[in-house]
Amino acid sequence: MYLPDFEYYIPKTLGEACEILAQSDGEARVLAGGTDLLRDMKNDVGVPKALVSLKAIQGLDQIAYVAGKGLVVGAKATHNDLAGSSLLKEHYAAIPETARVMANNQIRNRGTVGGNIVSSVPSADLPPIFIALNASVTMIGPHETRTIPLEQFFVGPRRSVLNCDEILTELIIPDQKTTGSAYLKLGLRRSGALAVVGVAASVVANGGRIDHARIVLGAVAPTPVRAFKAEQILVGNSVTGALLEEAGRAAADECKPISDIRGSAEYRRDMVRVFTKRALCKALQLPIK
């Protein structure tokens, strides 16, 4: 299997990269790990005329705490960078845990955080947990740099608000109080499988009462979606099995799954109920029932 011809650029700065993208009239794509992009090109799904490599641009793969900003993850950090980050393990263990259930080891060594977000695939594993943790993304363009909540980034399957002359440079997880967070994935295999359903939850609880909850569903709508009704059911109430079940049922009602080769809409909906309950248990550090 061979790739079609394309122009290849390897700029040394983000400014230079944006300029090349701006001059390409939407015909260029940014190349980072290539695990989505090269696969699409081999499958003849949208072959770009030019690739703009981020390889020579330094400093985009850091995972660091920046005072006043939060935990900053560079767009070029790989899934295995997330999986192995002691900083993330200490503050948001759910993120390395999510990275470890993605694809397989070879892909995790190449695939990047930025790529997983920008591809905007509804079943992507990282967006739900990042949205549950209220993360933002920064995009740099030829004229301006903007930062928006990740929740507002996705528009539809493989569609986002990223303009064709913009590059996603970093993801920011703001400082927050959280009792715990979790992402649980249902795949048809443990490795190398897309999510049939993915549920992320982040909660703040005090003395058994839930003060704050964010639940994000993946692979059951055109974009990752918040389960707002389920969140409302939880807030202000004491944690009981019945409450978590009710939240699970609400999340199942809210999602808009499709039927495809990996599962029917009905199955996905019921698994949202089960996995919402389990993700909440895990975030609350309760035994999963």
Partner 1 sequence: MMEGIEHTTSGDKRYAIQLIVNGDSYDIVVKANALLVNVLRDQLNFTGTKKGCELGDCGSCTVLLNGKPVNSCMVLAVEADGCEITTVEGLAHNDELDTIQQAFIDHAAVQCGFCTPGMIMSAKALLNDNPHPTEQEVREAIAGNLCRCTGYVHIINAVLAASNKDKKGV
The residue ranges that bind partner 1 (CB under 8 A) are 1-12, 16, 31, 34-35, 38-39, 42-43, 51, 53, 55, 80, 103-107, 109-110, 190-192
Considering the complex, what minimum distance in angstroms separates the CB of residue 55 from partner 1?
A: 6
Whose Cβ is closer to partner 1: residue 48's or residue 128's? 48
Whose Cβ is closer to partner 1: residue 104's or residue 238's? 104
Residue 29 buriedness (CB in 10 A; 0-12 / 13-18 / 19+): buried
Whose Cβ is closer to partner 1: residue 1's or residue 67's? 1
Considering the complex, what minimum distance in angstroms separates the CB of residue 181 from partner 1?
A: 23
Whose Cβ is closer to partner 1: residue 22's or residue 239's? 22
Considering the complex, what minimum distance in angstroms separates the CB of residue 37 from partner 1?
A: 9
Rounded Cα distance between 276 and 256, Å, is 15
CB distance 223 to 150 below 8 Å = no
CB distance 121 to 157 below 8 Å = yes
Q: What one-character DSSP code corresponds to residue 3?
A: P
For residue 71 the two structure tokens come to: 């935990």
Of 176, 146, 171, the C-alpha closest to 72 is: 171
Considering the complex, what minimum distance in angstroms separates the CB of residue 284 from partner 1?
A: 26
Of 159, 63, 152, 149, the C-alpha closest to 113 is: 63
CA dihedral 14, 19, 25, 26 (to 10 degrees): 0
Rounded Cα distance between 127 and 210, Å, is 23
Whose Cβ is closer to partner 1: residue 6's or residue 267's? 6
Considering the complex, what minimum distance in angstroms separates the CB of residue 107 from partner 1?
A: 6
Whose Cβ is closer to partner 1: residue 32's or residue 271's? 32
Of 150, 145, 174, 169, the C-alpha closest to 65 is: 174
Rounded Cα distance between 57 and 226, Å, is 34
Considering the complex, what minimum distance in angstroms separates the CB of residue 20 from partner 1?
A: 9
Considering the complex, what minimum distance in angstroms separates the CB of residue 2 from partner 1?
A: 7
Whose Cβ is closer to partner 1: residue 194's or residue 247's? 194
The Cβ of residue 262 has, within 10 Å, a number of other Cβ atoms equal to: 17
Whose Cβ is closer to partner 1: residue 53's or residue 163's? 53
Considering the complex, what minimum distance in angstroms separates the CB of residue 201 from partner 1?
A: 25
Provide DSSP, 158-206. TEES--TT-EEEEEEE-----SEEEEEEEESSSSS--EEEEEEEEEEEE
